[in-house]
Amino acid sequence: MDFIRDTKGDYEMDFIRDTKSDYGFSNSPIEYQETAPSFFETKEIAGGLEISKFTNKELTRVVIPQKINGKKVVSIGENAFWEINHSTSIVIPNSVKSIDKCAFFNCTGLTSVVIPNSVKTIGEWAFEGCTGLKSIEIPSSVTTIGSSAFGGCASLERIIVSKTNQSYCSIDGNLYSKDKKILINYAISKKDTSFTIPDSVTSISWAAFSGCRHLKSIVIPNSVTSIDWATFEGCTGLTSIAIPNSVKSIGNCAFSNCTGLTSIEIPSSVTSIGMRAFEGCTGLTNVVILNNVKSIGMRAFYGCKSLRSIIIPKSVKSIGYHAFFGCSNLTIYCRAKGEPFFCWKNEWDLSKRPVIWGYKEK
């Protein structure tokens, strides 16, 4: 990406020339007129300027200047374009090295963004909720991508990573760490109804599948050791998923609002079920928790109105507030002969669902 200056006419105007050569696309130049510097609030940081706020909420195409008042723009700051919904296209200059946390959060109108081969860091939730984005191109320069950087991008069909990037790679349009051990982001608008996570994967990142509506079945290999925060949150089409006996923890909101799930078995390898892990799973009718789980988090099964039975092993030492609140059809089967003293929160069974103590299968 190069910059050229047009001095013809009444005003000097900078243009960006984008050849997209990092991806092997056409080298015919695409030129963009820079957006007026007056629409950007900035602050000085090491190396130049940070865009702290974009103030024009009506402009559809935004071309961030390479320089403002003679100083290089080196960073897009936290929340800089927060909910700028009218902008459909944003071009970032090749002076920028970092895109900070929530920089383009909830820019629902955004359909195109050009990330130059100067950016090294893309922060947490940087493009979270950009529901119009269909594809993202990660250049070779990027070394760090924060959690859920592309979470909730409901139209995202593919993530392309430069083949020369040393930190990340793309397989079938999904984002992985270069060694393929971390599945970072599934392109949630893909029309596939089933997906098998590669055997190389040992962990699945925050919100990696969050909001995926098309997948009905996901196979998790026994190489995976943890299911992180909101990994499958809002996967409303998901009806089948087996948690392998390698997983040790289920994170907060991991399966929340998976309304299509009807049953789940927590294997003996799992020691903790996070807060709100299965909250809002309104189709869930049966849950079996095998021995070794020690804690069930606050609101873990909150609002699972179809849930009829859950088996809690003796190993459970703590249950959080409102764990089963709103489970109006639930009978709780506890293998323990009585509630552990001072371990389960007073309101763990706030709905006063029937509890069968000392339960044994016939």
At residue 347, the pLDDT reads 72
pLDDT digits (tens, 9 = 90+) for 298-309: 999 999 999 999
Does the domain at 1-156 match CATH 3.80.10.10? Answer given as yes
* Cα–Cα distance measured from residue 71 to residue 98, given in angstroms and rounded to the nearest whole number: 16
Spatial distance between the Cα atoms of 186 and 152, rounded to a whole number of angstroms: 11
For residues 55 and 178, give the distance between their C-alpha atoms in angstroms, rounded to a whole number: 37
What does the pLDDT read at residue 341? 59
Residue 137: is its pLDDT beyond 50? yes
Query: Residue 158: which H helix or E strand, with range?
Result: strand 158-161
Q: For residues 133 and 142, give the distance between their C-alpha atoms in angstroms, rounded to a whole number.
A: 19
Contact yes or no for 217/194 (Cβ under 8 A): yes
pLDDT digits over 261-274, tens only? 999 999 999 999 99
How many angstroms separate the CA atoms of 197 and 171, rounded?
11
Averaged pLDDT for residues 215-224:
96
Domain residue limits, the chain: 1-156
Strands 182-185 and 174-177: antiparallel
Confidence category of residue 140, pLDDT binned at 50, 70, 90: very high
Res 271: pLDDT: 96
Average pLDDT in the 209-234 region? 95
CA dist list (Å): 305 to 257, 271, 296: 12, 25, 18
Pick 350 or 58 by higher pLDDT: 58
Lowest-pLDDT choice from 29-33, 140-144, 241-245, 346-350 = 29-33
